Amino acid sequence: MISNIEEDKTNLTPFQKEVARRRTFAIISHPDAGKTTLTEKFLLYAGALALAGSVRARSSQQHTASDWMSMEKQRGISISATALEMEYQGFHINLLDTPGHQDFSEDTYRTLMAVDSAVMVLDSAKGIEPQTEKLFKVCRMRGIPILSFINKLDHPGRDPLELLDEIERLLGITAVPMNWPVGQAPDFKGVYDLNDHRLRLFQRTEGNKFRVPVRLSGMDDPSLPALIGEATHRQLTEEIALLAGVVSKFDRARFLAGEMTPVYFGSALNNFGVEPFLEAVLELAPPPSIRHTEQGIIDPISEDFRGFVFKLQANIDPRHRDRMAFVRVCSGHFKKDMQVLNPRLKQQIRLSRSFRLFGRERETVEEAFPGDVIGIISPGQLTIGDTVTTGKPIDYARIPTFPPEHFGLLFNDDVTRYKQFNKGLEQLEEEGAIQIFFAEDSLKREPIMAAVGELQFDVVMARLKDEYGVEARLSRLGFTGARWARNSKSERLALPRSVRRCRDRHGETVILFNSEWELDYIRRENPGLTLAEMV
């Protein structure tokens, strides 16, 4: 629901104006669809990359501002979600980065709890890929408005109508083209804006380094057939006539409800269609909106400061061995040193170490507004899902934990590093990087590491080594799933020998299993027992 700052823009207080000009969103895509390139171009328009001096030039092996962990650099994938802030045309943009690789989707899901809208990037040759489908379902579940960018139009791709149809079919959302490609690669000539009925023509520039000069003209411009070619002109005229009959009209209310997505075509790499797309994002995407909780609604413009922790990350900067809690501000005016309540701990906390991150650089934040993300250093006092407030305690929607599918016993052969090993595991588990279980029915006391995606194991092993100086060894276990055993009538459970009974860090019983047959057996032999998928 939109706060009344959208309805009445005339009499806003300075604080309300700050809220109204904020746009907080994430870009989601399948790896390689062009998320990094699009992010980079957005930063370029905002002048932010020039400031940070970190424009990526793959040829010289530099990396984007959001691409900072050494693992990420080696593999060229973005593992952790960071927040980028920029100013553009009077808007204050908070762009939350999400990992594209599906092994880190838990991190992405948590980040989606902190955004007001999402941008979906699709590769025009591939359409909806499995990862995009999963992420989109999360957006749909949360009713997050989605804008779509179909990328790589400079390369041969699929038929645009077929792509729109695929979005509608697989994601169950109405797709409304806002512009239409003119010609197909290698003769891609530009896009036709279906709202203002003008053409933006794409001209290659040397090395694609600079902004493309944009040439605008209407369909009735007599020079058009010569400009784009007779055949392309004829085809475009036919396609536009056809579109009028088959696509829905854009309806912002349906977009805000997450039922309709406006679709833009372009090429991020060639910087074509990026600027109008960024402008559309700012115009159509909502400012921070009202959030519903079990205890009532939270209006961003209310006086009470409220925020919630959606991410924890230790050791971002090796010079500061500390842990940062990323707080999304939901309402009120944040001021450094303010005193807030953490209702979970029933404790007052002074937020005196508040930071803004640009890549790995940190800078002190003196104030922040709804929609912003601040990094708070507050040892042991904040964990994922916590809320902080100056008002009445309110819980936000729970941040989900996903059921792990990969398991391994973790050995630390160096007894002198015992303390570091335990500390590392505890911190990485608190960050949500992995879950740790201990087997109850075996003499082995080694922790069992459980992850949603395989690559999480590699990250944890690398971070144990780099950040805690521990060379751990992993021995994979063959289990394929875990369930939390609840409501058991007795401590004794009748279990098949092939499963393993463990405890998680809250002391709850978790059963690791291999097959549905085992789950059926457990349900049958233990009447009343619930096998929960999530914590």
In the annotated binding site, the residues are 29-36, 97-101, 151-154
Determine if 85 is a binding residue for ligand G4P (CB under 6 A). Answer: no
Closer residue to ligand G4P in complex, CB, 58/319: 58
Count the neighbouring beta carbons within 10 Å of the beta carbon of residue 257.
Answer: 12
Task: Rule CB under 6 A: choose which of 24, 34, 171, 376 binds ligand G4P.
Answer: 34
CA–CA separation, 153 vs 162, rounded Å? 14
107 and 97 Cβ atoms separated by less than 8 Å = no
Closer residue to ligand G4P (CB): 2 or 269: 269
Q: Is 37 in the site for ligand G4P (CB under 6 A)?
A: yes
From 27-35, 191-199, 291-299, 352-360, span contacting ligand G4P (CB under 6 A): 27-35
Cα–Cα distance between 308 and 114 in angstroms, integer?
Answer: 8
Return the structure tokens found at 415: 């007894």
Nearest to 151 by CA among 186, 130, 124, 128: 124
User: Closer to ligand G4P at the Cβ: 261 or 267?
Assistant: 267
Residue 15 burial by Cβ neighbours in a 10 Å radius (0-12, 13-18, 19+): middle
**Cβ of residue 261: shortest distance to ligand G4P, in angstroms?**
18
Q: Would you count residue 152 as binding ligand G4P (CB under 6 A)?
A: yes
160 binds ligand G4P (CB under 6 A): no
Asked whether 171 and 128 are in contact (CB, 8 A), the reply is yes
Does 32 engage in binding with ligand G4P (CB under 6 A)? yes
Applying CB under 6 A, does 151 fall inside the site for ligand G4P? yes
Q: Which amino acid is at 421?
A: F
Judged by beta carbon, residue 27 or residue 325, the one nearer ligand G4P is: 27
What does the block give as tokens for 77?
């994938």
Nearer to ligand G4P, 270 or 331 (CB): 270
Residues of span 39-58 touching ligand G4P by CB under 6 A: 58
Return the residues of window 98-137 that contact ligand G4P according to CB under 6 A.
100
Per rule CB under 6 A, is residue 75 in the interface with ligand G4P? no
Q: Which of residues 192-251 bind ligand G4P (CB under 6 A)?
A: none
- CB count within 10 Å of CB 292 equals 12
Q: Which of residues 263-322 bind ligand G4P (CB under 6 A)?
A: 267-270
Alpha carbon distance 367, 284 (integer Å):
26
Closest to ligand G4P by CB, 29 or 427: 29
Beta bridge partners of 117: 25
158 counts as binding ligand G4P under rule CB under 6 A: no
Binder among 21, 22, 35, 110 for ligand G4P (CB under 6 A)? 35
Shortest CB 227 distance to ligand G4P, Å: 22
For ligand G4P, give the closer residue by CB, 34 or 160. Answer: 34
* Residue from 33, 212, 309, 472 binding ligand G4P (CB under 6 A): 33
> What is the C-alpha separation between 392 and 64, in angstroms, rounded?
40
What are the binding residues for GTP?
29-36, 97-101, 151-154
Nearer Cβ to ligand G4P (151/174): 151
Closest CB 126 distance from ligand G4P, rounded Å: 11
422: enclosing H helix or E strand:
helix 418-430
- Alpha-carbon dihedral sign for residues 26, 450, 317, 423: positive
Residue 204 CA to chain centroid, in angstroms?
A: 32
- Site residues for ligand G4P, window 162-191 (CB under 6 A)? none
Per the CB < 8 A criterion, the answer to whether 304 and 391 are in contact is: yes
Buried b / exposed e along 484-522 (16+ C-beta atoms within 10 A): bbeeeeeeebebeeebbbbebeeeebbbbbbeeebbebb
Contact positions vs ligand G4P (CB under 6 A): 29, 31-37, 58, 100, 151-152, 154-155, 267-270
